[in-house]
């Protein structure tokens, strides 16, 4: 059983309790369990309370209020026909009240422990609020930074993505579904969502089975191995079949091949959307196709509630098919102990969020996720004795931009901003500040309609120009200028794709004008996706990628800028020179005119296609050497493992972290193979002069692949290159062979 929560309840008893429940439930009650009802006022359709009272519901989403949870739970447990408790669910993607770095930033730590610890704190707070289930981790591999939801995943690489997937599931779920400080996790969005054409959110996806199996699926498989309780089907068409009605994905692959025995919830309204996508004639057919394809729970569309009884009564579906979908939902509720403990202590949340270790964990995660992209002349770390410093930029004092996208309902931003973090680091120094002109989306975010917070009217052109001049004046009076730029929280995430990766608004213009004053500039980026900061990359001496770092983000930025912390993060996704180059990624197949060819010039006549910053890149305040590469054998048999070791040494003057990375390339085979693929990494902390030997295993899991030719997983006898280094351009090279 994949869902091996250690509830102490023997499996046989769980099955007995589930069957006993099923035996006494009416068809309507069973269908109620397959329905996730919206608790939000903005949702159409019948009110949650009426549905729950009449037939019960599997779950309630888009509600975030312990008191309301208990009210609805009381109705479910005491007034609904079968008294089955509800699962309360919400998107807790990178923190509930204590906000952690966005998942893309967690991946940039290359430290699964950071992801696990962050999600464990998020789970504790969410559960204390009365939530049982989060719609995370998001596992979509993304190689087109124009796609707004790249912010929610682990970037471009399935090996790093798999490590982060397993770590987040462990963090959310722990190892016991009955643990009152954990929540059910949800591997989403199954599958291929990150490949929407042009990075346009929701657009159709066309992927070969080889791309699905070698790139898209591994993080989902890692989540299953880690015991993930639920999956979420994606919105979009995959090869002309919407994921929410895709039997191959949900039955053939997920259940029959991978043995997943939890349950699958659709994305929001995705069942009834099958009609819009032209995959179903009407709601009845949408419900039939989704259930037949293996979808357990309909998120908020009501299509199951409206149609399943009729489908059973007219013989289109059998009671056995309904029971099959209900079983895993009931089993998880039994495993969680919800029948014995359905209610939340309404005084618990404030005690839990007040835990000092929560903010400490958030600060550590933010410190470990930041990536130093440039540090010409060792400008950083700055001295704490500096005077006359100015902090400038529209995000410098923005709590929203610091906490980032995907906040839970009615979250009140409470982040320490970069300006506040710098001021706290420099007591007694008057830090000048000017935001410059505001930045905002050209097309407002549709979710903004649901946000009850009163909205400031946008700046007028005159106000913006005045703000611009004030920023210039403020910079003029300073010796050192810390520019805090990037994207606002609503510029990445859902409904947040964009055609360009440039700095929005007049940010780059302001940067250039202040640079033209001859000022020393440090650029701090707050953003949810790679940005094409090519002018800054050539002209600004120090650049720190801080992502959307969460509640302690400002303190973590200051910790790094002033040397209390040495940055050790690495990019989980490359930064293209130009947004038009997307999709861009390192693990590409070699062409007949490779970059290594003397005849090679470029793939475009108007630009170089190489990234501004490659996958796996990140600087430090110290230096490292990686050498003494050794292989346990020059060749191994198919099915055997090879051990690769290398020594990493801190050759600088301060302690620091290095991420040692291992890449392989199968030189020939029944399929062409990528020129490099990450197959091992380890982040190590070393004192000055200290050395450590890191060791990696290469076995069938790392050396095998899904072959288009064979239509199956294969491992071949072939020659391999391998490289070990500190980013995807590593040059320390060795070769080995796999023999038949
Ligand atoms: C959204 C997202 C999904 C989220 C769900 C519930 O549209 O696509 O990631 O979990 O709806 O909020």
Percentage, residues of the chain above pLDDT 90: 94
CA distance 504 to 63: 33
Determine if ligand 1 sits within 6 Å of the CB of residue 267. Answer: yes
Query: What's the 473 CA to ligand 1 centre distance in angstroms?
Result: 44
Task: Give the residue, by CA position, lying nearest to ligand 1 atom 12.
Answer: 91
What tens digit of pLDDT does each residue of 592-620 get?
999 889 999 999 999 999 999 999 999 99
**pLDDT score for 537:** 98
* Rounded distance from Cα 189 to ligand 1 centre (Å): 9
Query: What is the average pLDDT across 408-417?
Result: 93
* The pLDDT of residue 499: 96
Residues 176, 170: Cα–Cα separation, whole Å:
10
Residue 43, pLDDT score: 72
Q: Check: CB of residue 152 under 8 Å from CB of residue 93.
A: yes
Strand order in the sheet with 432-434: 371-375, 542-545, 520-526, 480-486, 389-392, 432-434
CA of 267 to the centre of ligand 1 (A): 6
Q: 306 CB less than 6 Å from ligand 1? A: no
Helix axes 319-335, 283-293, angle to 10 degrees: 60
Q: Which H or E element spans position 624?
A: strand 624-631
Report the alpha-carbon distance of residue 289 to residue 595 in Å, rounded: 47
- For the segment 279-293, the average pLDDT, to the nearest whole number, is 98
CB 451 within 8 A of CB 407: no
Report the distance separating Cα 605 and Cα 618, nearest Å: 29
Q: CB of 162 within 8 A of CB of 221?
A: yes
**Which residues are paired to 398 by β-bridges?**
none
Of 40, 43, 91, which is best to mutate to test ligand 1, by the most ligand atoms within 8 angstroms of its C-beta?
91
Task: Report how far residue 258's alpha carbon sits from residue 163's, in angstroms, rounded to the nearest whole number.
Answer: 18
Q: Specify the pLDDT at position 445.
A: 87
pLDDT tens digits, 370-383: 999 999 999 999 99
What average pLDDT does the segment 143-159 reach?
Answer: 98
pLDDT of 241 > 90? The answer is yes
**What is the average per-residue pLDDT within 68-94?**
96
| Beta strands 480-486; 389-392: pairing state | parallel
Q: Are 621 and 566 in contact (CB under 8 A)?
A: yes
Contact 698, 642 (CB under 8 A): yes
What pLDDT score was predicted for residue 456? 79
Sign of the Cα torsion 190, 196, 199, 203 reads negative
Cα-flanking dihedrals φ and ψ of residue 227, to 5°? 90, 25
Q: What dihedral do alpha carbons 377, 378, 379, 381 form, nearest 10°?
A: 180
What's the pLDDT score for residue 700?
98
pLDDT for res 2: 42
What tokens appear for 112 in the block?
Answer: 């699964």
Residue 7 — pLDDT band, cuts 50, 70, 90? Answer: low
Say if residue 1 is exposed, middle or buried (CB neighbours under 10 Å; 0-12, 13-18, 19+): exposed
In angstroms, how far apart are the furthest CA atoms of the chain? Answer: 79
- Whether 91 is in the pocket of ligand 1, judged by its Cβ within 6 Å, is yes
pLDDT tens, residue by residue, 539-562? 999 999 999 999 999 999 999 999
pLDDT at 176: 95
Q: What is the mean pLDDT of residues 420-446?
A: 95
C-beta 157 within 6 A of ligand 1: no
Q: Radius of gyration over alpha carbons of the chain, in Å?
A: 26
Candidate of 62, 90, 135 to mutate for ligand 1, largest count of ligand atoms within 8 Å of Cβ: 135
480, 520 in Cβ contact below 8 A?
yes
Cross-strand partners of 231: 187, 264
Mean pLDDT of 336-365: 97
* Closest-lying ligand 1 atom to the alpha carbon of residue 136: 10
pLDDT on residue 722: 98
Q: Is the pLDDT of residue 150 over 70?
A: yes
Please report the pLDDT score of residue 446 as a whole number: 84
Of residues 453 and 148, more confidence is placed in 148
Write down the pLDDT at residue 490: 96
Q: Assess whether the C-beta atom of 201 lies below 6 angstroms from ligand 1.
A: no
End-to-end alpha carbon distance in the chain: 34
3-state secondary structure of 95: strand
Distances, alpha carbon 604 to alpha carbons 20, 472, 607, 609, 733, in Å: 66, 37, 6, 7, 29
Q: What pLDDT, on the 0 to 100 scale, is given for residue 6?
A: 55
For the residues 720-731, what does the mean pLDDT come to? 98
Please state the rounded mean pLDDT for residues 187-202: 97
Q: Nearest Cα to 373, choosing from 516, 574, 558? A: 574
CB contact at 8 A, 480 and 390: yes
Distance 369 CA to ligand 1 centre (A): 25
Q: Which residue's CA is the closest to the ligand 1 atom numbered 8?
A: 267
Q: Does the Cβ of 494 fall within 6 Å of ligand 1?
A: yes
Q: Is 188 in the pocket of ligand 1 (CB under 6 A)?
A: yes
Per-residue pLDDT band for 11 (boundaries 50, 70, 90) equals confident
Establish whether residue 503 lines the binding site of ligand 1, counting it when its CB lies within 6 angstroms of any ligand atom: no
Averaged over 427-436, what is the pLDDT? 96
Q: 37 forms bridges with which residues in the sheet?
A: 60
CA atoms of 167 and 185, how far apart (whole Å): 11
What are 372's strand-pairing partners?
544, 619
Q: Are strands 635-637 and 656-666 parallel, antiparallel or unpaired?
A: unpaired
* CA of 138, closest atom in ligand 1: 9
| Nearest-CA residue for atom 6 of ligand 1 | 268
Answer for the pair 225, 146: CB distance below 8 angstroms, yes or no. no
| Cβ atoms 174, 167 nearer than 8 A | no
Q: Is the CB of 406 under 6 A from ligand 1?
A: no
Does residue 268's CB lie within 6 angstroms of at least one atom of ligand 1? yes
Long-range contacts of 382-388 (CB under 8 A, 24+ apart): 382/480, 382/522, 382/561, 382/562, 382/563, 383/562, 384/425, 384/426, 384/562, 386/426, 386/429, 386/479, 386/480, 387/429, 387/479, 388/477, 388/478, 388/479, 388/480
163, pLDDT greater than 70? yes
Atom of ligand 1 nearest to the CA of 232: 10
Q: Could you give the domains of the chain?
A: 11-89+136-164+188-326 (3.20.20.300), 370-573 (3.40.50.1700), 624-739 (2.60.40.10)
Query: Residue 134 C-alpha to ligand 1 middle, in angstroms?
Result: 10
* Lowest-pLDDT choice from 129-143, 235-249, 444-458, 659-673: 444-458
Long-range contacts of 318-326 (CB under 8 A, 24+ apart): 319/27, 321/291, 321/292, 322/27, 322/30, 322/31, 322/34, 322/291, 323/22, 323/30, 325/34, 325/263, 325/291, 325/294, 325/295, 325/296, 325/297, 326/22, 326/25, 326/30, 326/33, 326/34, 326/296
Is the entire prediction scored with pTM above 0.85? yes
pLDDT higher than 50, residue 1: no
Using the predicted structure, report yes or no on whether residue 4 has a pLDDT greater than 50. no
Question: 């972290």: which residue's tokens?
Answer: 657
**Known catalytic residues?**
267
Dump pLDDT digits (tens) for 506-526: 999 999 999 999 999 999 999
- In a 13 Å sphere around the CA of 504, the CA atoms on its Cβ side amount to 25
pLDDT of 630 strictly over 90: yes
Upstream peptide bond of 137 is cis (omega within 30 degrees of 0): yes
Average pLDDT, the chain: 96
Say if ligand 1 is within 6 A of residue 193 CB. no
Nearest-atom index, ligand 1, CA of 188? 9
With bands split at pLDDT 50, 70 and 90, how would you rate the model's confidence at 47? Answer: confident
**Probe residue for ligand 1, chosen from 232, 267, 407 as the CB with the greatest number of ligand atoms within 8 Å:** 267
Mean pLDDT to the nearest integer, 295-321:
98
CA of 62 to the centre of ligand 1 (A): 10
Q: Which two tokens stand for residue 340?
A: 């014995």
pLDDT computed for residue 394 by the predictor: 98
352 lines ligand 1 (CB under 6 A): no
- Backbone phi, psi, residue 80, to 5°: -75, 160
Residue among 664, 374, 666 at smallest CA distance from 523: 374
Name the residue at shortest CA distance from atom 11 of ligand 1. Answer: 268
| Stretch 32-52: mean pLDDT | 87
Q: Burial of 689 by CB count in 10 Å (0-12 exposed, 13-18 middle, 19+ buried)?
A: exposed
Question: Residue range 267-271: average pLDDT?
Answer: 98
Rounded CA separation 291/295 (Å): 5
């Amino acid at each position: 059983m994949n869902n091996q929560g250690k509830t102490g309840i023997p499996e046989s008893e769980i099955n007995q309790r589930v069957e006993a429940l099923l035996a006494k439930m009416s068809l309507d009650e069973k269908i109620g369990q397959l329905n996730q009802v919206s608790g939000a006022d903005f949702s159409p359709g019948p009110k949650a309370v009426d549905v729950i009272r009449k037939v019960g519901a599997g779950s309630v989403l888009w509600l975030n209020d312990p008191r309301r949870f208990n009210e609805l739970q009381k109705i479910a447990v005491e007034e609904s026909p079968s008294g089955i408790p509800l699962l309360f669910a919400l998107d807790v993607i990178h923190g509930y009240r204590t906000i952690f770095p966005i998942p893309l930033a967690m991946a940039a730590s290359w430290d699964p422990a950071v992801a696990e610890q962050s999600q464990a704190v998020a789970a504790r707070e969410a559960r204390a609020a009365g939530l049982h289930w989060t719609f995370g981790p998001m596992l979509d591999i993304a190689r087109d930074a124009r796609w707004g939801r790249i912010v929610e995943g682990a970037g471009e690489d399935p090996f790093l993505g798999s490590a982060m997937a397993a770590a987040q599931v462990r963090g959310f779920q722990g190892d016991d579904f009955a643990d009152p400080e954990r929540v059910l996790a949800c591997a989403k969005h199954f599958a291929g969502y990150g490949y929407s054409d042009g990075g346009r959110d929701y657009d159709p996806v066309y992927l070969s089975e080889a791309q699905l199996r070698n790139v898209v699926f591994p993080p989902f498989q890692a989540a299953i191995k880690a015991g993930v309780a639920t999956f979420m089907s994606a919105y979009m068409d995959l090869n002309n079949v919407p994921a929410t009605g895709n039997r191959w994905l949900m039955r053939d692959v997920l259940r029959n091949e991978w043995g997943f025995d939890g349950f699958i919830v659709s994305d929001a309204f995705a069942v009834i959307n099958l009609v819009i996508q032209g995959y179903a004639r009407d709601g009845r057919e949408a419900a039939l196709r989704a259930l037949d394809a293996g979808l357990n729970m309909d998120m908020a569309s009501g299509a199951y509630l409206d149609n399943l009884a009729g489908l059973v009564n007219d013989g289109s579906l059998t009671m056995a098919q309904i029971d099959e979908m209900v079983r895993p939902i009931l089993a998880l509720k039994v495993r969680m102990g919800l029948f014995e403990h359905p209610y939340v202590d309404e005084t618990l949340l404030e005690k839990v969020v007040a835990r000092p270790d929560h903010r400490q964990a958030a600060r550590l995660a933010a410190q470990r996720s930041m990536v130093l992209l440039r540090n010409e002349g060792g400008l950083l770390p700055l001295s704490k004795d500096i005077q006359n410093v100015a902090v400038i930029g529209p995000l410098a004092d923005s709590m929203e931009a610091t906490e980032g996208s995907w906040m839970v309902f009615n979250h009140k931003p409470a982040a320490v901003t970069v300006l506040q973090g710098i001021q706290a680091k420099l007591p007694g120094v008057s830090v000048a500040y000017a935001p410059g002109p505001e930045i905002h989306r050209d097309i407002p975010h549709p979710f903004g309609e649901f946000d009850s917070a009163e909205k400031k009217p946008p700046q007028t052109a005159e106000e913006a120009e005045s703000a611009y001049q004030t920023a210039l004046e403020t910079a003029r009076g300073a010796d050192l200028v810390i520019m805090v730029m990037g994207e606002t929280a609503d510029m990445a995430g859902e409904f947040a794709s964009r055609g360009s990766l440039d700095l929005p608004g007049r940010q780059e213009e302001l940067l250039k004008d202040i640079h033209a004053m001859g000022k020393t500039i440090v650029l701090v980026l707050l953003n949810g996706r790679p940005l094409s900061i090519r002018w800054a990359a050539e002209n600004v001496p120090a650049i720190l990628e801080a992502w959307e770092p969460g509640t302690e983000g400002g303190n973590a930025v200051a910790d790094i800028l002033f040397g209390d912390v040495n940055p050790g993060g690495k990019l989980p996704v490359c930064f293209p020179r130009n947004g038009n180059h997307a999709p861009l990624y390192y693990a590409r197949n070699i062409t007949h005119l490779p970059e290594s060819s003397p005849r090679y010039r470029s793939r475009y006549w108007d630009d170089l296609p190489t990234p501004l910053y490659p996958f796996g890149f990140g600087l430090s305040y110290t230096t490292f050497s990686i050498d003494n590469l050794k292989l346990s054998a020059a060749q191994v048999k198919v099915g055997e493992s090879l051990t690769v070791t290398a020594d990493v040494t801190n050759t600088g003057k301060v302690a620091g972290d290095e991420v040692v990375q291992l890449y392989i390339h199968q030189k020939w085979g029944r399929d062409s193979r990528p020129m490099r693929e990450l197959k091992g990494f380890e982040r190590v902390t070393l004192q000055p002069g200290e050395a450590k030997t890191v060791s990696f295993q290469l076995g069938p899991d790392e050396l095998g692949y899904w072959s288009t030719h064979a239509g199956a997983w294969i491992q071949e006898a072939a020659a391999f290159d391998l490289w070990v280094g500190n980013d995807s351009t590593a040059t320390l090279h060795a070769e080995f062979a796999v023999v038949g």
